[in-house]
Amino acid sequence: MIMLYFLLLPLIAVFIAPLLTPKRATYLSSAAFIIPFFSILYCIFKGNGCPSEIHIMNFSAPIGEIYLNFDFISHAFGLTICAVSAMVALFALPYMKHRFEEMKRNVKSEFRKYIFLYDLYAVSMLWLVYSGNLILLYIFLELTLITAFLLIYSYGYGNRKWVGLLYLIWCAVAGVLTLAGFIIIALDPLNNTLALKGITTVGMLAWAFIFVGMLIELPVLGPHVWLPWAHAEAPTPVSALLSPLTVGLAGYVLLRIALIDYSFITTYRMPILAYAIFSSIYAGFSVFTQTDFKRLLAYSTVSQMGYILVALCLGPFGLIGLVIQYMSHAFGKSILFSSAGGIIAVHHGLRDINKMGGLHDSIPTISNAAVVGFLNLGGILTIGMLGEFFILRGVVDTFGVNTMSLAIILPVIFMFMLSVWYGFYTIRKVFYGKPKDTKRLEISRYFYVPLFIIGILSVLLLFPPLSTALIPGLKAVIWTFMGVGGVMP
């Protein structure tokens, strides 16, 4: 039961933080996620010594048991959400004050509204990944949608109200499609429940609804049209959660459904894989055409979400890669969006990369943090390296090593290389080259210390003892589901 109490801490903070001063509210919000972070870390190291689930209540069929699921997959996602949410909360203290002053609003009163929505947004994601029932998962999925919409609508840039509505409509459609799939699962007489542990089969129609819904939420090429607008015009702390955490949770939903019944992926593996690789490469090249820094990072997100869809198609090893890729992208993109926010705050709204160049001389701490962010995306000396390894291992395990499989292996390798290419291109374009201003700026520690903490964690997870505790746990869970409840590829 102690894990339940730790998960309740950030939920309690949602209602207490707005009563405090901005600094105390920020510290409380950050601490409310740091404490569960260490409890999750303890469970990862202890393994089977922690409870696998916590019962909450029972409903009549077809809803079934409401419970919290504490396996290694939930822990990996939960650990990531806690770390990023805690650090971005600290980063947001000076940033949102700057934004409120820019909007000519009262800082104290607006911060109360902001911190309530921020905490509710983050805690919804945390509870989503521990939900053991699909209806509970859907409730928290919709809460993330509503809170993110309100944050964009209230504090975004540009035509923020239109962008907020664009985000709301697209993601509401995704939610409705996903809910339709969940209802079809519940009404199947072989299931007659929405409790994950009670679902034995997922029909093709249910899979199709969920898959399309999550493609919109993910998103990949086509449904991606809402994402560059939402990520670019959202207040930066929201971008730092929306891009790395929220969109990737579509991958979590697809992973959970795949672990119940993999037959849809087996049947449509090749078209999905081709679409995912093309989407990732197309969006990766689109990065080079962007002049707005935040919009550039948004297209990078579309490219990285292609990784997750590729990993979904590659059997057990690919599914491990999906989890790790989520973590890597979350760490990297939270650092990068926060770096963009730091530039906006200290350089008076600067977002055009054509007007940047040489910023390392004036803000070296933010520049160094951004490098670590791109190392995560490129899979260089961070946990992203493990994600790419397991995706490639999934390709080999699924297709073998032969002349035919090279048609898959080579595009996947190029997809990885493209992230490195546009990463170093952006670093050179923004932070190096001839500086526009060589004056070293004094900036708040909140703008870079939290980013270094995320970066250090992303490196530590590559090495023992963290990697050697996490990977075997993920493997055990995925192998169990794929061998018993799923259809082996």
Instruction: Give the chain's mean pLDDT.
Output: 92
* Cβ proximity of 30 and 24 under 8 Å: no
489 inside domain: no
Q: Which is nearest to 268 in space by CA: 211, 341, 342, 334?
A: 211
432 inside domain: yes
Looking at residue 292, the DSSP 8-state letter turns out to be B
Crossing angle of the two packed helices 383-399 and 315-346, in degrees rounded to 10: 150
* Cβ proximity of 347 and 366 under 8 Å: no
Amino acid at 89: A
Total domains in the fold of the chain: 1
Which two three-digit tokens encode residue 426? Answer: 């952006």
| Cis amide leading into 472 (omega within 30) | no
96 inside domain: yes
| Residue 195 bridge partners (DSSP) | 133
Q: Give per-residue pLDDT as tens, 320-346.
A: 999 999 999 999 999 999 999 999 988
In a structure prediction context, what are the per-residue pLDDT tens digits for the chain, which is 489 residues long?
Answer: 678 888 999 999 999 999 999 999 999 999 999 999 999 999 999 877 678 899 999 999 899 999 999 999 999 999 999 999 999 999 999 999 999 999 999 999 999 999 999 999 999 999 999 999 999 999 999 999 999 999 999 999 989 999 999 999 999 999 999 999 999 999 999 999 999 999 999 999 999 999 999 999 998 888 899 999 998 899 999 999 987 778 889 999 999 999 999 999 999 999 999 999 999 999 999 999 999 999 999 999 999 999 999 999 999 999 999 999 999 999 999 999 999 999 998 887 889 998 888 898 889 999 999 999 999 999 999 999 999 999 999 999 999 988 888 999 999 999 999 999 999 999 999 998 776 665 677 888 999 999 999 999 999 999 999 999 999 999 999 998 877 444 433
CA 32, 38, 39: angle at the middle one, nearest 5? 90
Helices (H), 47-133: 72-102, 107-130
25 inside domain: yes
461 inside domain: yes
* Cβ proximity of 379 and 388 under 8 Å: yes
φ/ψ of 357, rounded to 5, equals 105, 125
| Cis amide leading into 465 (omega within 30) | yes
Q: Domain range holding 124? A: 2-484
Q: Give per-residue pLDDT as tens, 252-301.
A: 999 999 999 999 999 999 999 999 999 999 999 999 999 999 999 999 99
141 inside domain: yes
48 inside domain: yes
Chain CA centroid to CA 437, Å:
35
Amino acid at 472: P
Residues 291, 201: Cα–Cα separation, whole Å: 47
Residues 164, 157: Cα–Cα separation, whole Å: 10
Q: Give per-residue pLDDT as tens, 171-209.
A: 999 999 999 999 999 999 999 999 999 999 999 999 999
268 inside domain: yes
φ/ψ of 444, rounded to 5, equals -65, 140
